[in-house]
Structure 1
């Protein structure tokens, strides 16, 4: 069993190697990520609460959290954070204000922020498109990362940002780790969704995602097999082929005679 990294371990690797990160949703994906040697995972709270999660993924550094719009007060954030850490999470994602980040960090909660294309705040940056393509935007991203570091976050997801910008920012961060989703190889972690890697859906595929398997085609095949099996069952019933003798329970003839006599 491999050793699960700590925040200190991840910081010690800054600038030395890139790590891998997946967004996963099931125990099966957690077990596969563990066996594949994935370093970091973004995990929904429901999976952290699953009794089999840590048995399936003992060596993965697990970040969890929710969209800040689902939370109430900072105290609610703190309660959720404490619960998640007690159940096996290693860090909390926080898309709320820097004041909330600072509040949680002062309580020694390992916090991961979010810069660039942040889905919950995309309206402020023009929607679902790249951020940081102008010098002004790039400098604003640098200042935002510095502010996260000053607030006590140990990492940020940096999403859909030009690789040159992300690389320059990463080099200038003393301790803040940059976890790249579509922001190039100059960061500390490369982050993709498991569902994109596995090709599980037929929707628009993000430009930064690479498909390694075609699970959608396999799901289509399984659905056709499901329909065929159900149709065969119905035909067997309609035509008297089911249930066959081997699927039935028989009564002892003597007991059957007594039953009929009693009737």
Structure 2
């Protein structure tokens, strides 16, 4: 598979080809997903919930994202690596925002960053793009604003809110964003917005009419015992597989069947004789 770039995604939209995107937070996961053909790997601040055990993404820091990006970058050979700008890092002086986004690329090795917010952040997007940092937008349900939104709820249910969302998307595209995530949006609204943009849309809980889809790895692989969002599809059940394997391990350690002969190394007979002779002399 050829290396995926932001231009690749734009060409995929032009050709009507769907973009497959998934979160990744470590080296082995990134390697497996990259080899499976994922076009985009997102180091999402969702790691705050599925990796760190928080109830929201808000506690995630820039250092957290840099750390996880570094691991994902080592594991991915072809996929486009996109890192989230965590809570509050897109607000403040333009120079500070630029420095924070730069860390994700210089220290983490990201190819691009993702920013939550609409037209109010268009100037930030433009500043980053001008500096050579590709930006993916994110509108609809923006988890960093969960408290302001009143929870994890569908956005764009009314004509007025759908129009505002289109305005946000258009402003981000005009500012230079190369793609936009639409999260928890009615399918018809997502289809309407997608048809109005030159850049691709990546949906999550936004129906099948977006130019691509993104899922959280732990949700998609059934690697969780917690809440599973309605929009998720579990393609595996890793939680049960791991639980069964762990119980088998505990049982075999307890009854002495692990380690077995296959997992055991022995001294050569002549070395064993020398050891016993030496022991007997002492």
Normalized against structure 1, the TM-score is what? Answer: 0.82
Task: Note the 1:182-193 alignment, pairs <5 A.
Answer: 182-193=205-216
CA contact (8 A) 1:68 1:94 kept: no
Q: CA deviation at 1:70?
A: 5.5
Matched, 1:113 2:137: yes
Tell me how far 1:227 sits from its aligned partner: 2.4
Going from structure 1 to structure 2, the CA distance change for 1:38 and 1:252 (only over 3 Å counts) comes to same
2:220 is aligned to 197
In structure 2, the residue matched to 1:26 is 26
What pairs with 1:133-172 in structure 2 (closer than 5 Å)? 133-172=157-196
Return the offset for 1:170: 0.9
Structure 1 unmatched runs, 5+:
234-245
Alignment-derived partner of residue 255 in structure 2: 232
1:79 to 81, 85, 99: 99
1:106-151 Cα deviation digits (max 9, x unpaired): 2121011210111101233331110011111111111111121222
RMSD: 2.8
Bigger radius of gyration, 1 or 2?
1
Find the counterpart in structure 2 of residue 241 from structure 1: none
- Is 2:215 the counterpart of 1:216? no
1:226-246 deviation digits (Å, cap 9, x = unpaired): 32244336xxxxxxxxxxxx6
Deviations 1:14-33 (A, max 9, x none): 25121101111222221221
State the partner residue of 2:6.
Answer: 7
**Quick one: distance in 1 between partners of 2:278 and 2:125?**
78
Match of 1:238 in 2: none
Paired residues of 1:45 and 1:65 also in contact (CA < 8 A): no
Deviation at 1:62? 1.1
Q: CA distance change for structure 1 residues 58 and 222 in 2, over 3 Å: closer, same or farther?
A: same
Cα distance in 1 for partners of 2:74, 2:227 equals 34
CA distance, structure 2, for counterparts of residue 20 and residue 81 of structure 1: 24
SS in 2 for 1:139: helix
The 1:144/1:229 distance shift into structure 2, 3 A limit, reads same
Map Cα deviations across residues 135-189 of structure 1 (whole Å, 9 max, x no partner). 1111111111112122222222110100100110111113x32111111222111
TM-score after normalising by structure 2: 0.77
How many aligned residue pairs are there?
245
Say whether the 8 Å CA contact 2:178–2:200 is kept in structure 1: yes
